[in-house]
Structure formats: C-alpha cells, structure tokens
Amino acid sequence: MKLFTFKRLFILGIIVAAVVCLVPTFFNTWPHKKIAMGLDLQGGMHLVLEVQNEKAVEAEMERTIHEIKIELRDAGIKHLGIVRQKDNTIKAILSGEENKKGFEKIISENFANLLIPSPTPTANEFSYIMSLPDAEMASIKKMATEQALETIRNRIDEFGVSEPDIRMQGDNRILLQLPGISDPDRAKDLIGKTAQLTFQIVDDDGNVASALKGTTPFGTEVLFQNKLDPSTGNVTKVPFLIKKEVLLDGSLLIDARIEFDQFQQPQIGIEFNRKGARLFDKITGANINKRLAIVLDKTVYSAPVIQDRIAGGKARITGRFTTEEAKDLAIALRAGSLPAPVNIIEERTVGPTLGADSVRMGLLSMVAGGIMIILFMVVYYKGSGIIADLALIVNIILIGGGLAAFGATLTLPGIAGIILTIGMAVDANVIIYERIREELRSGKTALAAVHAGFDKAALTIVDANVTTLIVAIVLFQFGTGPIKGFAVTLALGIVASLFTALVLSKSIFDFLLRHKKTSTLSI
C-alpha cells in the first residue's frame, strides 16, 4: 500500500498551507500576515459621518456664477448683479435689450444645463432665476458623498490604520470603523479637516478696519491668520482683507510633504502638476510686489510678498506647526480636499482593555465548547470519535489559516461563527457515523461500511451546508461590520467542514482500514 498518494499529498498540502498562514498570528517574526482583529476585539473607533452635500451644490453654483461673470465680461455684456440665492438658484439682473440678448446667447451656448424660465421685466430691467435640474443636483450630492468617502479612505490609509472598514451608509452618511486607534482626537481632526487650499491676493488698498465693522468692499472678504506669541503662548487673530477670486486651488497639487526650515521648524512643501505650475508661474508674474495669501479652510497661513515670478510649481506653507500638525496637514493635502464638510453624528470608542476581555471570553467559550464536543464524540463513538475530533481540530486550523490568507477581519460575532461551525462540523460526522453503523449491522466489512456510509451521507451533508453557505454569502454582501465578520467565519467554516468531514475523515478511515477484512469497527 502506498503511503503517499496524490489525494493524501493534496490533503497534507492544504493543512500545511493553513498552518503556515496561521503561525504569524502567534509568532511575530514569521514573514506573513496576521489575523486582523476587528474593532470589538482590539479596541478602536466607530464613527458615522454625515456629509453636508448641500454645500457641494452651493459650491457648484458659486463656480457657475464665477464662470458666467467671466463670459459676460469677455463679451462686454453688463449686468446689475448675479448672486446665488438661499434655495441654490442663481438670480441675474440685466438692463437693456442688447445686454439681455447677449446674456441669453451666452447661457444657451455655454450653460445649457441651467433651467431658465422667461425673465421678469421691470422698468427696462430683466430678472432671471436660473436653477439646475433636480436630477443634476441629486447627482452632485451623490458624487460629493462618494468623493468624500474616497478622500477619507486615502487619509486613513496614509494615517496608518490597519484593516479600516469604510463604507457608504444611506445617501449622505459614511461609516468608519478604525481598529487599534491610539489617538482618537487626532484621527477625528484629520478625518474632518476640509483641506480646501486656495491662493488669493491680499487687497492692500482696502481698509481692514472698515471691513471689520461691516463695510467690506465688493469682491473681498475678511479672513484671519492665527499668530502665536512664543514668549507668552497667546494666540492672536490677525485680519486680512482678501480678494474672493481664487487664482489657484489645491486640486492641482501632486505632492505635499513635511519639510524643515533653517531653524528646524516644520513647514509644508507643496508641488503642483504641469497645469498648476503654469498657472502659478503666470499668477506670480502678474502680481509682483503684491501679497499672495495661502488660505487653508478659510484661515490664512501665510501672505508673503511676491518678489519675482516663481517657476517650477513649488511653494511652501509656513506657520507655527508642530511636527504632528504638519504631518497631518500634508496627509490631508495629498489626499485631496473634501468636496463638502462632514459632521460626526455618532461616535463610539472601544478601549483596548475591553477588546482584550472580549478576545479572552470569546476564546474561552470556543475552547469550552470544543472540549465538550470532543469528549462527547470520544464517549459516544469511541475510536471513530477520535478521528472526528482530529478532523475538528484541523477544521479550526483551516478557518484560522483562511482568515489570515484572505486578509479577513476576525470580530466577536466571527468567533461566534467559528463556534457554530464546530457544531456543524460534528453534526456532519454524526450523520456519517450513524450511516456507517447501519451498514455494519447489515453485515458489511468495516471498509465497505465506511465507504457506503460516506457515500449515502454525502448528499445530505452537502445540501445542508450549501444552503447555509448561500445565507453566509448574502450576509457578507449586504451586512455591515460585525455581521460581515460573522458571515466570513461561517463561510470559511462551512467549506472547511465539508473538506474535513467528506475528504479528510474518509482518507483517515481508508488508511486505517485498507487491509482490515472484519466487520468490527470502534464506532
């Protein structure tokens, strides 16, 4: 009799592969992935964010207004005001028939997506109320949420969180589960940072004092810079009168990194793509001796005087950053700005101690259940019960190896899935063994009874397990966090149970009974 057949080598290969994948979870030096622990096992943060996607519609309407004004200015068409209203419609007022016709032509040719009812004439003035179609507004909101999801995912990846769970929840919510987070406040700041970087000219001709009192010149706004007094530690807000026109924004960035100046103070070095470099060159060349404000999230970080044209598309954002602040800001800029602000509407933090308790209790319940089943099988099925127990141990090894190999996350419900699988695996052996007993009673030899028992029980076992596997797949597809963790271990357990019950156990019986001609079997 051959000791190593193809079938036995195949079985041995699967078991060895599972062991190799599982070893790193217990020995840190082994070069392979560990089983990733979920939020409920290793602690971390659970956040639900609400994307203010209405702001994305507002931003789109503001961009449209800016573009309309440029088109009208280039065509020499005068208007009496174009503003966005609270309901996100655009109100435009024009005087004179000639301006009216020119305006309508430009809108029809370049802004065909806008809905424009007939104007309301008033004393040679024409008032237009323009809006976007409902479908387009819904599309902007959806895209804003999806873009926010990707931006946050990029930030979390660079932040260094292992196995984060980031997914859409409804139309404008994002669910985040961040296992192993040690600094929740820093993570929340990074996630919620809008990171809208703009370059705007400082209006040095305007009166800042008057603007602070409410008399803001047309086309300008008051923004502040936070100045830290190193001797006292006090922070004062320095006002700037900034022209609203955005000359360049962070969408053209290709890199943002932490650097250090000659005094070893951290700063952010930024670099634009080719288009951004050309614009930056043009902007600095056209505004020599003017101050260019670098504005991030409506806060002025610096406003240096442009001494000369700056080619190459590189700049620096200076400020009194800590190294950690500079690093997080660089991450936010690299990942891109959020298309709309996000609010944290639900927050839960699981401490590492609670997670460790969950692991201990979960493993304890699994071990206790496993020992009870092992003892039952040995007492009730004698020698054959030992084979079932061996298959059960291999089953657990295969599940662990599968979790590690596929990069799945083990959660507390996942441990429950493993415990359920242990019961299902033994159930398959019980069905097979009762069939074998029937065959032995009919007078067959031990080997013939084993073959007949496995053959007759196989279809029943496969049917029962495949239907459960379908349920596990549905749970994985449509479930969230913990439910998904349960589905993963359940699915892996079903596949492992079919393998150990129908392949491994039968192979062991074949090996032990190949030359046994009697009808006796320890079962």
Helix axes 446-478, 505-513, angle to 10 degrees: 170
In a domain, residue 459? The reply is yes
pLDDT digits (tens, 9 = 90+) for 329-353: 788 778 777 878 888 898 887 766 5
Q: Which of 348, 367, 386 is the last residue of a domain?
A: 348
Are 102 and 191 members of one domain?
A: no
Q: Is the pLDDT of residue 30 over 60?
A: no
pLDDT digits (tens, 9 = 90+) for 446-470: 888 888 889 888 888 888 888 889 9
40 burial type by CB count under 10 A (0-12 exposed, 13-18 middle, 19+ buried): buried
Tokens of 153: 């995912």
CB 191 within 8 A of CB 183: no
Residues in contact with 26: Cβ distance below 8 Å, sequence separation at least 6, in sequence order: none
Residue indicated by tokens 């000639």? 98
Are 327 and 404 members of one domain?
A: no
Nearest to 45 by CA among 146, 168, 189: 189
- The mean pLDDT of 17-36, rounded to a whole number, is 74
C-alpha distances (whole Å) from 337 to each of 290, 329, 333 are 27, 11, 7
pLDDT for res 517: 63
- CA-based torsion, 497, 501, 507, 508: positive or negative: positive
In a domain, residue 166? The reply is yes
Are 130 and 150 members of one domain?
A: no
pLDDT digits (tens, 9 = 90+) for 60-106: 888 888 889 888 988 999 998 899 998 889 999 988 888 989 999 99
> Model confidence at 223, in pLDDT bands (50, 70, 90)?
very high
Residue indicated by tokens 């970087």? 197
pLDDT for res 163: 67
Nearest to 180 by CA among 36, 328, 23: 36
Range of the domain at 240: 45-53+137-348
User: Which domain CATH number covers 174?
Assistant: 3.30.1360.200
Are 171 and 285 members of one domain?
A: yes
204 by DSSP, 3-state: which? Answer: coil
Are 458 and 329 members of one domain?
A: no
Tokens of 44: 């971390």
Among the ranges given (130-144, 364-378, 490-504), the one the predictor scored with the smallest mean pLDDT: 364-378
Are 128 and 145 members of one domain?
A: no
**CA-only gyration radius of the chain, Å:** 34
CB 497 within 8 A of CB 395: yes
- pLDDT-above-70 percentage for the chain: 94
Are 100 and 126 members of one domain?
A: yes
pLDDT for res 148: 86
In a domain, residue 523? The reply is no
pLDDT for res 270: 85
> Model confidence at 242, in pLDDT bands (50, 70, 90)?
very high
Q: Is the pLDDT of residue 52 over 80?
A: yes
Are 195 and 95 members of one domain?
A: no
Are 433 and 497 members of one domain?
A: yes
In a domain, residue 250? The reply is yes
Instruction: Please give the distance of CA 466 from its chain centroid, rounded to a whole number.
Output: 31
End-to-end CA distance of the chain: 25
Which pTM value belongs to this model?
A: 0.60
In a domain, residue 1? The reply is no
pLDDT for res 369: 81
- More confidently predicted of 482 and 220: 220
> Model confidence at 241, in pLDDT bands (50, 70, 90)?
very high
CB 238 within 8 A of CB 225: yes
Are 102 and 115 members of one domain?
A: yes
In a domain, residue 519? The reply is no
Give the DSSP H or E segment for 279: helix 274-286
Are 143 and 258 members of one domain?
A: yes
Number of domains in the chain: 3
Tokens of 313: 């598309």
User: Which domain CATH number covers 125?
Assistant: 3.30.70
Q: Which of 111, 135, 159 is the last residue of a domain?
A: 135
Name the phi and psi angles at 474, rounded to 5.
-65, -45
CB-facing half-sphere around the CA of 363: CA atoms within 13 A: 9
pLDDT for res 3: 62
* Full 3-state SS string of 341-368: CEEEEEEEEECHHHHHHHHHHHHHHHHH
User: Which domain CATH number covers 417?
Assistant: 1.20.1640.10
Query: 36-37 and 409-410: which strand pairing?
Result: parallel
163 by DSSP, 3-state: which? Answer: coil
Name the phi and psi angles at 329, rounded to 5.
-65, -40
In a domain, residue 522? The reply is no
DSSP letter, residue 2 = -
Among the ranges given (21-35, 177-191, 428-442), the one the predictor scored with the smallest mean pLDDT: 21-35
Q: Which of 329, 348, 367 is the last residue of a domain?
A: 348
Tokens of 152: 């946050």
Identity (one letter) of the amino acid at 414? G
In a domain, residue 520? The reply is no
pLDDT digits (tens, 9 = 90+) for 259-307: 888 888 888 888 888 888 988 888 888 899 999 988 888 888 888 888 8
Are 125 and 161 members of one domain?
A: no
- The mean pLDDT of 198-214, rounded to a whole number, is 89
DSSP letter, residue 61 = H
Q: Is the pLDDT of residue 355 over 60?
A: no
Cα 98 to Cα 86: distance, rounded to the nearest angstrom: 29
